Amino acid sequence: MPALLVTVVAWASAFVGIRAVGETFSPGALSFGRLLVGALALTVLARPWQHALPRGRSLALVVCYGVIWFGAYNVALNAGERQLDAGTSALVVNIGPILIALLAGVLLKEGLPRPLLIGMGVAFAGVVLIAVSARGTSAGTASASGVVLCVLAAGAYAVGALTQKLALRQVSPVMSVWLACVIGVVVCTPWAPQLVAQSRHATAGELGWLVYLGVVPTAIGFSTWSYALKRLSAGQVASTTYLVPAIATVISWLLLCTVSSNAIDIVISRYLWRETPAPRTCCCDSTPSWLSGCGLSPRSKAGRSRTWPGRRSRPSSSSGVRTRRSPACCGRAWNATNGR
């Protein structure tokens, strides 16, 4: 349904936005700013005062997933994406739909079909493969901790989605999102001073990303998600988010010149060729017109080239390895001496 398509694209873009500003805002400050913008946007667009406030058990459920999903999930995801690229983060976090379908089958009596159990095994194997492959790189410990943080985010995502499913039996979708967003703001309030201090040093493009994360993935994405979750089973709605990693990877490649070290890359390079996957870098010498002024320029204001956050620079000619730029993609380089 169209609502789920909007959710998938909005949430996929969130992984890219978090990665783009992850070096400027701390995980807690970014969570507070994103949720604050989202709550303000929902207040203006959804007019929650026109809907009845939940009470009793329904209110307790909203508070529960507001703390776990909107609060803890955002902080864990932001911290994890400081050490992983957008595509890999989306892949790891997307074990959440598997957990949602499993818990919904047991707790909400939605059933446990065989394809679900097979998918759980594949998803778990993928996460293990990513974590193990990270240990051979120079940033092995950081990458492994990033995987752990994203797994924790996936758990919070699953618990929050199931709790929201129960709350939606008596609470309207827009009220469930607005109230949970406000609760998330309260949970992340201790990081408000950090947001104020870090915003002073942020560029206009980075502040634009912060506003985008609050309006599109948070306000719009969660609203369309809640609308669909109220009408469909939790397993059906969660299964559509399997498209998120692929879309996040494409958006990341287009905007940030990064490509995730996916399972195919890892298997071929590490286990077949016995090589460690090379880090992805952006080797652009100029900024495309559509990136100008958005804070994503691969060159600093002083004109000195720099690598993207969390990426190592390319080997210099003094290392004995000559590299050249691929005409197909600015984010790829290969060893000229070996003809690759």
Q: Give the list of residues 6+ apart from residue 291 with CB closer than 8 angstroms, or none.
A: 255, 297
The pair of structure tokens assigned to 62 is 């909203």
Task: Name the DSSP class of 286.
Answer: S
Cα separation, 208 vs 327, in Å, equals 31
- pTM over the 0.75 mark: no
pLDDT band at 299 (very low <50, low <70, confident <90, very high): very low
A 10 A CB-CB count for 104 gives: 24
Q: Is pLDDT of 214 > 70?
A: yes
**Angle of helix 114-134 relative to helix 96-107, nearest 10 degrees?**
150
The pair of structure tokens assigned to 194 is 């950090």
- HEC sequence for 204-248: HHHHHHHHHHHHHHHHHHHHHHHHHHHHCCHHHHHHHHHHHHHHH
Quick: pLDDT tens for 91-118.
888 788 888 888 887 777 777 777 766 7
Cα separation, 249 vs 238, in Å, equals 19
Of the listed ranges 70-74, 253-257, 290-294, the least confidently predicted one is: 290-294
Q: What is the pLDDT of residue 337?
A: 38
Q: What is the mean pLDDT of the chain?
A: 75
Domain ranges of the chain: 2-264, 282-340
Q: What is the pLDDT of residue 215?
A: 95
pLDDT band at 298 (very low <50, low <70, confident <90, very high): very low
Q: What is the pLDDT of residue 340?
A: 44
Query: If 0-12 CB within 10 Å is exposed, 13-18 middle and 19+ buried, where does residue 319 land?
Result: exposed
pLDDT band at 90 (very low <50, low <70, confident <90, very high): confident
Alpha-helix residue ranges (DSSP H) falling in the chain: 2-21, 27-45, 56-65, 74-80, 86-93, 96-107, 114-134, 140-167, 173-188, 192-199, 204-213, 221-231, 234-239, 244-256, 263-266
Q: What is the pLDDT of residue 256?
A: 66
Q: Is pLDDT of 275 > 90?
A: no
Cα separation, 49 vs 175, in Å, equals 9
Average of per-residue pLDDT across 137-149 = 67
H/E run at residue 173: helix 173-188
pLDDT band at 28 (very low <50, low <70, confident <90, very high): very high
Are the CB atoms for 284 and 298 separated by under 8 Å? yes
Q: What is the pLDDT of residue 265?
A: 44
Average of per-residue pLDDT across 273-294 = 43
